[in-house]
Amino acid sequence: MSVTIKDVAALAGVSPSTVSRACRDLPSISRQTKEKVRRAMEELGYEPNFQASALARKNSRMIGIILPFSEVDAYQNSFYLEAMRGISQYCNQRQYISTVITGRDEEEILRTIRSMSRRGLAEGFIVMYSRIGDPVVEYLHKCGFPYVLIGKACQCPEETSYVDNDNMMAAREAVEYLIRLGHQRIGYLSSDHSLLFAADRRKGYLAALEEYELPIVDEYCIETSSCPQEDRPAILRLLEREDRPTAFLVSDDILATILERICSKLGLFIPDDLSVISFNNSLLAQLGSPGLTSVDINSRKLGEEAAARMISHIENPGQKADRTIVPHFLVERESCRPLK
């Protein structure tokens, strides 16, 4: 079995990221630590890519921004655009370069990360999502590369820094808002529950219904993609029921806009026939007719905090993993009204 950077780190008594920085001769690593790492490398026969190390000295202040695999979805979602804006602005202030990494599938993303790592082109990575069983995060953790998640950590939570909202609380507050308007049959339309933010919002939705002793109907919860095609019949069937929901919590403004279009085809109108609350407070929520009541999750602030955490870990090797919760707030517009 070939020697890995983790083997060197264990023998030297340092973290894998410290070994990586020592190989690249970065000034943030002391001379004593560099010597300890080099002795461990010699003892184990570990040979770093010195050509990559030389290149890294010229490009050592770069941070990779990893988007979820997708051909178009990530670039259509204002959350990612606003979060990247926050990352870029913070990096610019600290004289770091940020670059976007994505692909058609996870393997394409992994190939890019491996290539950048071998060539020493990035000091760390910001993963713009948190997904159950994500091979990208597994690879970054296994290889000891510094990374920060936007979203709650699922894999190795005690060793992973992340920036997130309290998505359970946000969803719970949104459902309570609808309940105060008199709604009791409340549906939940959500993106893929393998994404932790969507799963947590569903938990908050269910917790609110349970607290107020309202019926939990499985058919009222629909999981779909960000631009649903195959799941539209399920949405149609639910809206055609006699006991259809009188209100919906929707995990994203894009999905809420699609829901509004489906309602229009059925002759249902928002908010007269259906009240809707969504998340992100994007331009879609602001310019829609009616305007969408939406939970603003401070997307740009999430990006800024992620960049701050990433740069802090780069400049302070060995720093413990930390967690930052960014506050949310509800923006009321015309898409909700008291139940008739």
CA nearest neighbour of 128 among 146, 110, 149, 109: 149
Reply yes or no on domain 167-296 having CATH 3.30.420.40: no
Q: What percent of the chain has pLDDT over 70?
A: 91
Confidence of residue 338 (pLDDT cuts 50, 70, 90): very high
- Of 299, 264, 298, 259, whose CA–CA distance to 278 is shortest? 259
CA distance 328 to 163: 13
Q: Which of 23-37, 103-117, 223-237, 248-262 has the highest mean pLDDT?
A: 248-262
Q: Which residues pair with 127 in a beta bridge?
A: 66, 149
Task: Give which of 11, 40, 34, 2 is closest to 21, Cα–Cα.
Answer: 34
Confidence of residue 170 (pLDDT cuts 50, 70, 90): very high
* DSSP H or E segment with residue 92: helix 78-93
What value, to the nearest 5°, has the Cα angle with vertex 199 and ends 197 and 158? 65
Whether 25 shows a pLDDT value over 80: the answer reads: no
User: Which range among 172-176, 234-238, 269-273, 329-333 shows the weakest confidence by mean pLDDT?
Assistant: 234-238
Dist CA 99 CA 84 (whole Å): 10
Model pLDDT for residues 272-329, shown as the tens digit of each residue: 999 999 999 999 999 888 999 999 999 999 999 999 999 999 888 888 999 999 999 9
Q: Which residue has the tokens 């629909």?
A: 222
Q: Quote the pLDDT of residue 54.
A: 44
- Structure-block tokens of residue 77: 């979602």
pLDDT at 78 over 50: yes
62-66 and 97-101 beta bridge pairing: parallel
pLDDT of residue 59: 45
Q: What is the pLDDT of residues 32-64, one digit of tens each?
A: 888 888 888 888 888 765 444 444 444 458 999
Question: What is the model's pLDDT at position 51?
Answer: 44
Q: Show Cβ contacts of residue 265 under 8 Å, excluding neighbours closer than 6 positions.
A: none
In angstroms, the CA 162 to CA 152 distance is 6
Spell out the domain ranges in the chain.
1-57, 59-165+298-327, 167-296
Query: What is the separation of C-alpha 20 from the centre of its chain, rounded to a whole number of angstroms?
Result: 26
- Nearest CA among 252, 167, 247 for reference residue 207: 167
Domain 1-57 in CATH 3.40.120.10: no
The chain-wide mean pLDDT, for the chain, equals 87
Q: Do domains 1-57 and 59-165+298-327 have the same CATH topology?
A: no
The enclosing H or E element of 164 equals strand 161-164
Please count the residues of the chain.
340
Tokens of 155: 């894999």
The pLDDT of residue 35: 83
Nearest residue to 314 via CA among 146, 144, 93? 146
Q: What is the mean pLDDT of residues 238-264?
A: 93
Q: Residue 219's pLDDT is what? A: 93
Q: What is the pLDDT of residues 93-136, one digit of tens each?
A: 998 999 999 888 889 999 999 888 777 788 899 999 998 889 99
59-165+298-327 CATH fold: Rossmann fold (3.40.50)
